[in-house]
Structure 1
Amino acid sequence: MSFLNRRYFMGTLGTLLASPLFTRLAQAEPNNLNLGQGTVFSWEGLCAEAKKQAQKPYASPLSPDAAIVDRIDWDAHGQIHFKMDHALFADGPGDYAIAFFHPGKFFPFPVKMYRLDQPMENEHARTEAREILFDKHLFDMPEHSPAQELSHPAGFAGFRIQESRNGSGPDWRSNDWAAFLGASYFRTIGDEYQYGISARGVSVNTATQDQKEEFPLFTHFYFAPPQPGSREVSVYALLDGPSLSGAYHFTLTRDKGVIMDVQAELFLRRDIDQFGLAPMTSMYWFADKDKTFQEDWRPQVHDSDGLSLWTGTNEHIWRPLINPYSIKTSHFSDKNPKGSPQQEFEWGLPFEVSHFSDENPKGFGLIQRERHFDQYLDAVHYERRPSLWIEPLNPWGKGTVRLVELHTTEELYDNVVAMWVPAAPARAGSQHSLRYRLYWQADEPFATSLARCVGTGIGRGGEPAHRLPGTHKFEVVFQGGELFHLPSGNAPEAVITPSRGRILNAATEPVPNGQPGSWRALFDLTEVEGNDPVDIRLYLKRGNDTLSETWLYHYLPT
């Protein structure tokens, strides 16, 4: 499995067509961007081009002057900066200018960029698209940079959206809020002005034993000027890869966080074993519960600490992330939300895969719930990293949320992937229509009356001076919701279901932290034979009333 290098992303990001209607000579925008010939553009035409591509054999893109581009490594690429005076829409219309990335060793393939002449009022609208021509003089770079040696127009590698030119926020020339760079990866900042988690256009054969993972590329982007008074950014894209082609429409709204609507039409040119839709990728190294297995001075290091699920049967599930040292696959069925999970284990590869079966899920996401600096003590401020929540906007039918967790000993690489995998086989010649909304913000976007899990602790079982061999104690902390309204002296009941082993000494008690509505469940897990994982479900109730979301933990015996 391949994951993009996080150090490079943090350094860099912290900072087709229908037939021609008519042609024009290349001309310049007021900001000195040279534009190519005009061609007709429409959403319908973009979808038709994606379908046409999928009916032909895949042709891998070429990188001009590939040997030179390969020398533009992390450090060299970080010294190349787009000149903001040349940004698209730098003088309007709209609030947000578009800047472009130079190609480099890790982003070698040219991506064509187009400016649309008119806003797209609907899916049937037509306008003219003109290519934004690459010129290395659009970039500041050192005299000794390998990029100075490029003899052919290399093409842009990606783009970023700058902060508002008209607001009172950060300087738009030096601050961006969204970036598309590398394969089909993109990400935005959240409430706290921090990049972290990434999304992808599509996932193909991620973490499969018999198939090599593919990374389809966004090969063309089209930027529509905004409607008068609109604060939305509208971007169209064409995607291509060995197994599929696709057309995308992204509508981005910069608010307190960022909301992004995605419309996609995907066309398969061959069968796909693991067809991952709306994928997201993040980093999890360790938290308090697994700190003893790490060699680092910080209390926690992660961009996300859990997978949150809102199932089609209206169950809310919190699955804390892990850094696995074993190699297994687990399956959970939404049809039996409170019972024992159905399991299947596969040995042989260095990652852990979990499947959460569902039908028409209401949403899921990789979330960063721990928001206190003293839990990280790091100047990169992991407590400010955005969460990412996906809300389906059309029926997704039956399938699974697939969670992939790769073992890591560093924070440099994204090692967690979550995606939706349809139950129906992904066959060559099929078409898939998808609409969903992405919420990049600190918290999940939909409030619930249920208490949320805010902490997981694991230690030796039993009590001081009375330890039980082969036993581990768990502490699961819930906060808020109906727990605020519990009558005095009425403790909630913890409903605990392990996939194997036996539960001892289960109890609930208020957390002695002075915070109202804060309760914890404590229990020992014992009689676990062998090294296969134990999947544990726990939720709080009082009588027939469910008081909390479901904590679902994937415990790896040591």
Structure 2
Amino acid sequence: MTDLNRRQVLASLAALGLLPSTGAAFAQQDGVTLGDARPFSFEALVEDARRRATLAYTPAPPRASETLTAIDYDNHWRIEYRRENTLDLPGGEAPIRFFHLGRYFQDPVGVHVVENGEARPVLYDPALFRMPADSPARALPEDIGFAGFRVLEPGRDTDWLSFLGASYFRTSGEEGQFGMSARALAIDVALQTPEEFPRFTDFYLSPSPTGGRILVHASLESARITGALRMDMAKDGPVVMDIETRFFAREDIERVGIAPLVSMFWYSETDRRRREDWRPEVHDSDGLAMWTGTGERIWRPLNNPDAVMTSTFADESPKGFGLLQRDRDFDNYQDDGVFYEKRAGVWVEPKGDWGPGAVQLVEIPTDDEIHDNIAAYWLSDRPVRRGDEIALDYRLTWSSLEPYPAEVGHVVATRLGRGGVTGQTRPEGVTKIVVDFDGGLVAALAREVDDVETMVEVSSGETSLVDNYSVKVGTAWRASFDFRPENDGPVDMRLYLRRGDTILTETWLYQFHPTREDQAS
């Protein structure tokens, strides 16, 4: 290590306010060099974030941008972290490998190993990676740093957790297939002003003190906010993350999204007119689930709209929400490369009382599966002003199953088609909307029951042929109605089934987007 490299590492640590311990020294572990030991605690990380929020934002100057830009997608994934340099945290439950910087990940992050109340930085060395002879990465400075890290299964053959880019992180869940992501924070999503992307600047890794796989502390930085996070992660089937967040506002912020989730929805069985690919469905998630403070269960199927759409679902003291993949049948995707039916859903469970606010869903147009076009997060009614502290804790559960199944039946399919009655002249400009429910109280209904009511509301337009009946194969119950829009604007729809005073199903919410054909008369 050069003197310059050493000074840069120490300067980075000093900026965190972590003082060196007595007898600090460099150490070697699994082929990885660790720097000087420094005292570490979450409380110190929080105080550092509080301090940084009082200072003007000074972004780190870019380094080797031209060279990093040359490391495009193909060049980036040709750079391999050497297996023999896998870093083992104490306990052996979380082997670590590192991501290299490249065109899409140009901001280096600090990675530190924590043991016995002390943190040691992992020092970058190009020798940790196997690079092709013609790789642009060979021209980078020898202290350029890491882009992020991933956590492997104890057998080291597969990974299950990764942190890479801005404040994104994700896991393969219980079925071993990466899909959607979570973020530490979302700022000004879908506003007229550009979105601000806070980023993790430093990670502190240690064994979980609660019997999980790994404990990750992280520092967060952006132009208008700072933060410190504590993330205790377990993997026993589903992946469960207990997250404590402490954010400090440098400036007023219009929209701060807490516990943001990011996913992809191209198309599903809902609206077959939108299909542009041979596969029946392509999506990481097919709906937004909500469990409100009053106990109502809600399912909102996702859309791929023609323009950015923001939907706000007001609530107080929510019990939870999540972007889920309910369709788990391979036949409905027919993709044996990325296995969409195995993608984990993510459920957000607030800890404590989050007060009044809203779950906000943002849907962005996409014409391909490579783009994340769905975001969901909690938006507090309390405005964020300069000097404010935000301290909201929550649990993320990544699973193919919903962690808190409801007694009521849940939505299993939403389909759109031509309105009218089979065998009769079909009316122009009318869409038939069919919603299938299954499980819980619905599955327990006898087939001959005839007093189930379909409760349907639309924000504009006309409904007709409202009906419901038992699906004769299986235990599902089907609701349907015809709809004629009155204009070309989006229409909010609401539907559920009841029998007497008993609510049988969760509430189906949908945003219908009329097409030109729907406007025909």
Given the two structures, how large is their TM-score scaled by the length of structure 2?
Answer: 0.93
Q: Closer, same or farther in 2 for the Cα pair 1:226/1:308, shift >3 Å?
A: closer
8 Å CA contact retained: 2:211, 2:234: no
Deviations 1:204-226 (A, max 9, x none): 111001x2101111000001244
2:245 is the alignment partner of 1:245? no
CA distance in 2, matches of 1:282, 1:431: 28
Match of 1:525 among 474, 483, 488: 483
Task: Give the deviation of 1:63 after TM superposition.
Answer: 3.6
Q: Structure 2: which 5+ runs fail to align? A: 1-14, 516-521
Match of 2:431 among 472, 479, 488: 472
Match of 2:360 in 1: 402
Deviations 1:190-214 (A, max 9, x none): 12100001000000111001x2101
CA distance in 2, matches of 1:117, 1:381: 38
Superposition map of 1:48-59 within 5 A: 48-59=47-58
2:520 is the alignment partner of 1:538? no
8 Å CA contact retained: 2:286, 2:326: yes
Task: Give the deviation of 1:130 after TM superposition.
Answer: 1.3
Task: Give the deviation of 1:23 after TM superposition.
Answer: 5.5
Task: Give the deviation of 1:24 after TM superposition.
Answer: 4.8
Task: Give the deviation of 1:140 after TM superposition.
Answer: 1.1
CA distance in 2, matches of 1:18, 1:93: 28
Structure 1 counterpart of 2:331, one-letter code? D
2:177 is the alignment partner of 1:194? yes
Name the SS of the counterpart of 2:370 in structure 1.
coil
- Name the count of aligned residue pairs: 498
8 Å CA contact retained: 1:63, 1:110: no
Task: Give the deviation of 1:293 after TM superposition.
Answer: 2.0
Name the SS of the counterpart of 2:94 in structure 1.
coil
- Percentage of pairs with the same residue: 42
8 Å CA contact retained: 1:511, 1:519: yes
Superposition map of 1:135-150 within 5 A: 135-150=125-140
Task: Give the deviation of 1:470 after TM superposition.
Answer: 2.0
Match of 2:12 in 1: none
CA distance in 1, matches of 2:295, 2:490: 26
Superposition map of 1:288-307 within 5 A: 288-307=269-288
Q: Structure 1: which 5+ runs fail to align? A: 1-15, 119-126, 166-171, 326-349
Superposition map of 1:407-426 within 5 A: 407-426=365-384
Name the SS of the counterpart of 2:430 in structure 1.
strand
Match of 2:342 in 1: 384
8 Å CA contact retained: 2:20, 2:36: no
8 Å CA contact retained: 1:353, 1:403: yes
Match of 1:507 among 461, 467, 487: 467
Structure 2 counterpart of 1:364, one-letter code? F
Task: Give the deviation of 1:21 after TM superposition.
Answer: 4.0
Q: Closer, same or farther in 2 for the Cα pair 1:405/1:488, shift >3 Å?
A: closer
Given the two structures, how large is their TM-score scaled by the length of structure 1?
Answer: 0.87
Task: Give the deviation of 1:98 after TM superposition.
Answer: 1.2
8 Å CA contact retained: 2:288, 2:322: yes
CA distance in 1, matches of 2:16, 2:141: 27
- Across the aligned residues of Structure 1 and Structure 2, the Cα RMSD in angstroms comes to 1.4
Name the SS of the counterpart of 2:270 in structure 1.
helix
Superposition map of 1:169-184 within 5 A: 172=156, 174-184=157-167
Match of 2:37 in 1: 38
8 Å CA contact retained: 1:359, 1:398: yes
Match of 2:197 in 1: 215
CA distance in 2, matches of 1:529, 1:322: 20
Deviations 1:126-149 (A, max 9, x none): x21111111111011111111111
8 Å CA contact retained: 2:125, 2:142: no
Match of 1:322 among 276, 279, 303: 303
Match of 1:360 among 298, 303, 317: 317
Match of 1:458 in 2: 416
Match of 2:266 among 280, 285, 291: 285
Match of 2:454 among 491, 494, 498: 494
8 Å CA contact retained: 2:124, 2:142: no
CA distance in 2, matches of 1:511, 1:187: 37
8 Å CA contact retained: 1:478, 1:518: yes
Match of 2:8 in 1: none
Structure 1 consecutive aligned stretches of length 4 or more whose deviation exceeds 6 Å: none
Deviations 1:518-548 (A, max 9, x none): 110111112x221111111110111110000
Name the SS of the counterpart of 1:470 in structure 2.
coil
Match of 2:5 in 1: none
CA distance in 2, matches of 1:442, 1:61: 40
CA distance in 1, matches of 2:146, 2:39: 22
